[in-house]
């Protein structure tokens, strides 16, 4: 091989045909387009789909990934584009690493984000190791996020399409993982551009709808899933005003989230009330006026830092943070307490900041992601 061999589109100094890439295929449009595009470019593509939960129960469920119909769709795309495809049974791993923690966190009054844990503990850990076992040069996914090379190595950047950006769900990607991962869709301007590519490649999934719910939570009914996983979890209790008044009864703390206003089951109110705290030990849902939801100081732990300088090398970092996936980044001061814990001060208070959600760090200007951590006490 010539020393001046140009880098291919995945960043390797060798021809695509000599570059093996494992593509994590969920069966949806995004990962299918990634696999098809790389196969079209001549790469040695290997498609891998993880079966994450009960095949029989999931077979007829549309709008989720990694089960039944989606495994079939991923296999069809591999056949259409002419590359090998494998299905790996990760049901036990997924239950231990993601589903059990989801249930326990909810029962503890938190609002977990299982998609982050799945990326962190399953897709970018076990599946990534499988890709290395297959002697792949890298692993590619259909996530909408960008990997760019900086002075210190690979950096994580938000997707070009802000409406599709998935950086909130990928903040825990480590530098070592980032070195191995590729995200070929992150630069695309819109989801329509992805569907156009699917049509161009003649893929059977070109018009397949996007997944919406958490894959193992049908129709967004968290409580039903948790009651099945943890029988007896939905124990009744009291709805209590912050001033001590008992406002009514509830059928289980797990049916409520911080910031909730609708469906409290308490009528005849002079003021709108919101869930401001969940007291799991006393089985109490505590409600109060909206101003009680405003939070300025947020304790964060399990921090994954993606900056060039060590996290503790400064007394504070002036960045922007996102405390929910649906909210824009807000200006903040991040004060490290250790390599993995910090106090985050929002310059403008936010409503409904909840333990169990992620706090993701962004550059004040530009698209770079500096990591993030987990909000851990109310």
Considering 65, 66, 118, 138, which one is annotated as catalytic? 118
- Hey, what are 307's tokens? 């900056």
Domains and CATH numbers, the chain: 16-142+184-219 (3.40.50.620), 234-292 (2.30.30.280), 294-375 (2.40.30.10)
Which of 51-60, 125-134, 259-268, 336-345 is predicted with the least confidence, judged by mean pLDDT? 51-60
Q: How confident is the model at residue 264 (pLDDT cuts 50, 70, 90)?
A: confident
Query: Which band of pLDDT confidence, cut at 50, 70 and 90, is reported for residue 259?
Result: confident
Confidence at 238, pLDDT banded by 50, 70, 90: very high
The model's pLDDT over 85-106, given as tens digits with 9 standing for 90+, comes to 999 998 999 999 999 998 888 8
pLDDT in tens, 286-342: 999 999 999 999 999 999 999 999 999 999 999 999 999 988 999 999 999 999 999
Exactly one of 65, 138, 215, 359 is catalytic; name it. 215
Percent of the chain with pLDDT over 90: 66
- CA nearest to 321, candidates 371, 360, 366: 360
Helix-helix angle 222-229:100-107, to 10 degrees: 100
Active site residue 215: yes
Residue 223: pLDDT above 90? no
Residue 334 forms beta bridges with which residues? 317, 344
The residue written with tokens 């049901």 in the block is 91
* DSSP string of 9-27, one letter each residue: TTS-SS-GGG-EEEEE--S
* CA-closest candidate to residue 356, choices 167, 100, 109, 96: 109
- Residues 299 and 358: their CA atoms lie apart, in Å, by 11
Tens digit of pLDDT for each residue in 68-77?
Answer: 688 899 999 9
DSSP state of 208: P
Q: Is 80 exceeded by the pLDDT of residue 218? A: no
Buried b or exposed e, range 296-312, using 16+ CB within 10 angstroms: eebbbeebbbbbeeebe
Which pLDDT band holds residue 284 (cuts at 50, 70, 90)? Answer: very high
Q: Are 71 and 49 in contact (CB under 8 A)?
A: yes
Give the contacts of 357 (CB within 8 A, at least 6 positions apart): 111, 113, 323, 324, 374, 375
Is 172 buried (19+), middle (13-18) or exposed (0-12) by CB count in 10 A? buried
């Amino acid at each position: 091989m010539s020393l001046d061999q140009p880098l291919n589109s995945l960043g390797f100094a060798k021809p695509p045909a000599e570059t093996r890439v494992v593509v994590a295929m969920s069966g949806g449009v995004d990962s299918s387009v990634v696999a098809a595009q790389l196969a079209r470019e001549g790469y040695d593509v290997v498609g891998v789909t993880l079966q994450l939960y009960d095949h029989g129960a999931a077979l007829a469920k549309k709008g989720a990934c990694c089960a039944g119909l989606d495994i079939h769709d991923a296999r069809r795309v591999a056949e259409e584009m002419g590359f090998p495809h494998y299905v790996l049974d990760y049901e036990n791993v997924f239950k231990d690493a993601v589903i059990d923690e989801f249930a326990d966190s909810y029962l503890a009054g938190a609002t977990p984000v299982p998609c982050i844990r799945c990326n962190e503990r399953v897709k970018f850990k076990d599946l990534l190791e499988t890709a290395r076992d297959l002697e792949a040069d890298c692993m590619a996914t259909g996530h909408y996020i960008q990997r760019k090379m900086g002075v210190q190595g690979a950096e994580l950047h938000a997707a070009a399409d802000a409406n599709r950006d998935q950086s909130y769900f990928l903040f825990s990607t480590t530098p070592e993982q980032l070195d191995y991962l590729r995200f070929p869709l992150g630069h695309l301007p819109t989801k329509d551009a992805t569907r156009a590519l699917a049509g161009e490649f003649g893929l059977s999934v070109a018009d397949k709808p996007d997944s919406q719910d958490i894959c193992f939570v049908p129709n967004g009914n968290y409580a039903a899933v948790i009651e099945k996983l943890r029988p007896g979890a939905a124990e009744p209790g009291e709805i209590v005003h912050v001033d001590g008044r008992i406002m009514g009864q509830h059928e289980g703390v797990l049916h409520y989230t911080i910031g909730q206003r609708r469906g409290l089951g308490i009528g005849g109110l002079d003021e709108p009330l919101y869930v401001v705290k969940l007291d799991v030990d006393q089985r109490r849902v505590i409600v109060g006026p909206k101003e009680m939801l405003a939070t300025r100081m947020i304790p964060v732990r399990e921090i994954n830092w993606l900056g060039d300088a060590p996290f503790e090398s400064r007394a504070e970092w002036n960045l922007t943070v996102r405390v929910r996936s649906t909210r824009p980044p807000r200006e903040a001061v991040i004060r490290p307490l250790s390599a993995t814990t910090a106090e985050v001060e929002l310059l403008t208070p936010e409503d409904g900041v909840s333990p169990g959600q992620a706090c993701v760090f962004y550059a004040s200007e530009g698209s770079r992601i500096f990591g993030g951590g987990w909000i851990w006490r109310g």
